[in-house]
C-alpha cells in the first residue's frame, strides 16, 4: 500500500474516532439512532446501455417502468445527469474513482486474456475502498469490467467484500452464461451447458443481492448493483417474452451467434422478436428494482438508505437493438459511443425517504465522477485530492448546491473524440487520431438540445475557451492514448 493510502487510512480513522467521541456528547439521540444518521446505507443501481428515454418517467410511451417510476415519485429525478463515458469500462472507472476520462485510470474497453478487462491499478482509491475503510460492508452484484479475476483490478481487491456476477464485460453480453464468479470462485452453471438455457444470469445475481441486503440489515452497507440489462444480447425468459410478443410490430429478425467459439462467449444470440425482447428485459430490470426497494421496506431500513438508479451510457444498436423504434435516446442526438447528448446524458433518480423531497426534479448538471464526493460527504469521509467531482448531496437535501465550471469527456474509439459541457454550451471535437486541432462543433443546449445547429463560427471566444479546457483536462495515459501521442 502506498504512502497516500496509509495516510488516508490514518486520517479516516482519526476522523471516525472524533465522530464517535463527540457523538457521545449529544443529547436526545441514542447511539444506535445517531450511527444510522451518520452512516446511511447506499444502494447504487446501474443499468447497462439504458437510454435517457427508456423509462416511462422520462417519457417512454411504449412500455411502463412502474417500480423505477415510483422511485422518481418518492424522490428526485435528474434531467441533466451524465455518464462517465459513452461505453462501459471507462464510465465505471469514472464512477469508482471520482475522475473524468481525462484522468481516470481506465479510459476504454480493453479486453485481456483469458477473461476480463484491463485492470484498474491497486494504487487507485475507489469509492468502495473509502466506504470499507469507514466501516461499511461493501458488495457488488452484476457486471464488473475493471480487471480480470485475480488481477489487481478484481473487485475483491478494489474494496468490495463480496462480488457475485460477471467479471468480464464480453461474457456479460450473454444472459445464459456458462459461469459467473462468486468472489474468487468460478461458479459453473450446469443448467446452461451446451445450448441449454436453464439459468438466467440476472436472476441468480439478483438473488445474491437480496441476500446481501438481508445479511447486512443491521450494519451500514454499500451495494453496487451493475445490472447487465438491457445490453445486447436481447434475451428474456419466456414468461416475460409472452407479455410483449406481437405488440411492437414490425419485428425484424436478428441473426446472431448460435454456435461455434463465440457462442455464449461474447457473441450475441439470434432473436426473432428483438422489440419484444427489449421490452421484456426492461420489465425484468424494473421488477428487480422493485424487489430491492421492497426488501429494504420489509427490513425497516428504507428510511436509512439512499438509492440511486442510473445508466452507464446511452442506448446501444447491437444485437438487434432498435433504439429509434423506442426513442431510447429521448430525441437526443447520438447513441452509445457518441459524445453527443444521446451517448452520455442518462437518467438518474435518487430516493431517500424522509430526506429527499418526494416528486422533485433537478436540472443540476452532474456526472458520474460526482458520486464519490457525494458519498464522502454523506458518510463523513475525507475525499481524495485528485478528483473532479462535486458532491450533489446538497441538491438531494434541498440545500444550496455548488456547480461545476464545466464537464469533460474523452473517448479513444472511432478516431478519437473530446467533449466539454460549459454552462449552456456543448463543444465536441472529432477525429482526434488524425489531428490534434480538428474543428470544434459548438451547440447551445438551452435552445438546441438535439445538437443540430453548429454555432462555432458565431462564438469563437467560446470555442477558444473549450479548446483550452480540452487541452488542460487531458492527461497522458500509458494505455489509452490518442494517435498523435504515440
* Residues 284 and 343 reside in one and the same domain: yes
Q: Taking the model in full, what pTM does it have?
A: 0.92
The Cα 264–Cα 278 span in angstroms is 19
Final residue before a domain boundary, out of 363, 385, 404:
404
**Which residue do the cell numbers 428474456 mark?**
236
Final residue before a domain boundary, out of 357, 379, 404:
404
198-232 pLDDT, tens digit per residue, is 999 999 999 999 999 999 999 999 999 999 999 99
* Residues 424 and 279 reside in one and the same domain: no
Q: Domain holding 415: CATH number?
A: 3.30.1120.10
* Residues 73 and 88 reside in one and the same domain: yes
* Residues 168 and 249 reside in one and the same domain: yes
383 in Cβ contact with 134 (< 8 Å)? no
Nearest CA among 342, 354, 289, 284 for reference residue 317: 342
* Residues 187 and 59 reside in one and the same domain: yes
Burial of 78 (0-12, 13-18, 19+ CB in 10 A): buried
Query: In this predicted structure, what is the pLDDT of residue 434?
Result: 81
* Residues 29 and 47 reside in one and the same domain: no
Query: In this predicted structure, what is the pLDDT of residue 280?
Result: 98
43-72 pLDDT, tens digit per residue, is 999 999 999 999 999 999 999 999 999 999
Instruction: Give backbone dihedrals phi and psi of 312, rounded to 5 degrees, phi first.
Output: -80, -15
Q: How many domains does the chain have?
A: 3
Query: Residue 171 — very low, low, confident or very high, per pLDDT cuts 50/70/90?
Result: very high
* Residues 103 and 241 reside in one and the same domain: yes
Parallel, antiparallel or unpaired: strands 360-362 and 366-367: unpaired
* Residues 417 and 467 reside in one and the same domain: yes
* Residues 417 and 293 reside in one and the same domain: no
* Residues 276 and 373 reside in one and the same domain: yes
248-280 pLDDT, tens digit per residue, is 999 999 999 999 999 999 999 999 999 999 999
In the chain, what's the furthest Cα-to-Cα distance? Answer: 68
Q: Domain holding 58: CATH number?
A: 3.40.720.10
**Which residue do the cell numbers 485510470 mark?**
105
Query: In this predicted structure, what is the pLDDT of residue 285?
Result: 98
Burial of 261 (0-12, 13-18, 19+ CB in 10 A): exposed
* Residues 249 and 318 reside in one and the same domain: yes
- In the predicted model, is pLDDT for residue 403 greater than 90? yes
> Distance from CA of residue 254 to its chain's centroid?
27
Query: In this predicted structure, what is the pLDDT of residue 12?
Result: 39
Final residue before a domain boundary, out of 384, 404, 424:
404
Query: Residue 310 — very low, low, confident or very high, per pLDDT cuts 50/70/90?
Result: very high
Counting residues of the chain whose pLDDT is more than 70, the rounded percentage is 92
Range of the domain at 428: 409-485
Burial of 31 (0-12, 13-18, 19+ CB in 10 A): exposed
* Residues 174 and 252 reside in one and the same domain: yes
Per-residue cell: 392 = 450533489
Query: In this predicted structure, what is the pLDDT of residue 483?
Result: 81
Amino acid at each position: 500500500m502506498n504512502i497516500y493510502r496509509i495516510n488516508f487510512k490514518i486520517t479516516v480513522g482519526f476522523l471516525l474516532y472524533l465522530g464517535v467521541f463527540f457523538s457521545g456528547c449529544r443529547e436526545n439521540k441514542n447511539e444506535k439512532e445517531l450511527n444510522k444518521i451518520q452512516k446511511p446505507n447506499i444502494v447504487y443501481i446501474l443499468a447497462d446501455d439504458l437510454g435517457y428515454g427508456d423509462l416511462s418517467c422520462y417519457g417512454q410511451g411504449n412500455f411502463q417502468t412502474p417500480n423505477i417510476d415510483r422511485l422518481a415519485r418518492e424522490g428526485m429525478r435528474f434531467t441533466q445527469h451524465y455518464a462517465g463515458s459513452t461505453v462501459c469500462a471507462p464510465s465505471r472507472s469514472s464512477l469508482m474513482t471520482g475522475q473524468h476520462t481525462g484522468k481516470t485510470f481506465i479510459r476504454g474497453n480493453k479486453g485481456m486474456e483469458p477473461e476480463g478487462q484491463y485492470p484498474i491499478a491497486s494504487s487507485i482509491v475507489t469509492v468502495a475502498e473509502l466506504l470499507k475503510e469507514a466501516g461499511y460492508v461493501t458488495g457488488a452484484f452484476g457486471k464488473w469490467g475493471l480487471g480480470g479475476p485475480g488481477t489487481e483490478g478484481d473487485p475483491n481487491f478494489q474494496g468490495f467484500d463480496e462480488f457475485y456476477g460477471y467479471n468480464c464485460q464480453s461474457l456479460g453480453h450473454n444472459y445464459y452464461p456458462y459461469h459467473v464468479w462468486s468472489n474468487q470462485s468460478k461458479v459453473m452453471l450446469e443448467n446452461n451447458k451446451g445450448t441449454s438455457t436453464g439459468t438466467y444470469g440476472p436472476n441468480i445475481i439478483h438473488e445474491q443481492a437480496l441476500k446481501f441486503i438481508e445479511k447486512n440489515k443491521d450494519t451500514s452497507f454499500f451495494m453496487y448493483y451493475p445490472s447487465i440489462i438491457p445490453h445486447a444480447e436481447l434475451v428474456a425468459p419466456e414468461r416475460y417474452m409472452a407479455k410483449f410478443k406481437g405488440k411492437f410490430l414490425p419485428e425484424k429478425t436478428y441473426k446472431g451467434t448460435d454456435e461455434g467459439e463465440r457462442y455464449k462467449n461474447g457473441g450475441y444470440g439470434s432473436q426473432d422478436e428483438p422489440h419484444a425482447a427489449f421490452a421484456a428485459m426492461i420489465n425484468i430490470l424494473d421488477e428487480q428494482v422493485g424487489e430491492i426497494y421492497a426488501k429494504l421496506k420489509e427490513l425497516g431500513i428504507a428510511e436509512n438508505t439512499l438509492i440511486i438508479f442510473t445508466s452507464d451510457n446511452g442506448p446501444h444498436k447491437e444485437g438487434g437493438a432498435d433504439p429509434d423504434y423506442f426513442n431510447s435516446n429521448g430525441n437526443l442526438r447520438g447513441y452509445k459511443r457518441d459524445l453527443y447528448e444521446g451517448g452520455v446524458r442518462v437518467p438518474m433518480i435518487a430516493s431517500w425517504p424522509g430526506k429527499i423531497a418526494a416528486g422533485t426534479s433537478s436540472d443540476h448538471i452532474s456526472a458520474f465522477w460526482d458520486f464519490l464526493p457525494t458519498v464522502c460527504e454523506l458518510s463523513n469521509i475525507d475525499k481524495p485530492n485528485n478528483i473532479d467531482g462535486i458532491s450533489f448531496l446538497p441538491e438531494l437535501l434541498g440545500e444550496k448546491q455548488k456547480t461545476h465550471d464545466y464537464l469533460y469527456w474523452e473517448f479513444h474509439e472511432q478516431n478519437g473524440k473530446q467533449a466539454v459541457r460549459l454552462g449552456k454550451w456543448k463543444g465536441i471535437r472529432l477525429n482526434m487520431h488524425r489531428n490534434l486541432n480538428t474543428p470544434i462543433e459548438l451547440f447551445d443546449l438551452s435552445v438546441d438540445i438535439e445538437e443540430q445547429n453548429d454555432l462555432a463560427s458565431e462564438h469563437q471566444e467560446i470555442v477558444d475557451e473549450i479548446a483550452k479546457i480540452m487541452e488542460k483536462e487531458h492527461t497522458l495515459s500509458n494505455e489509452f492514448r490518442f494517435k498523435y501521442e504515440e
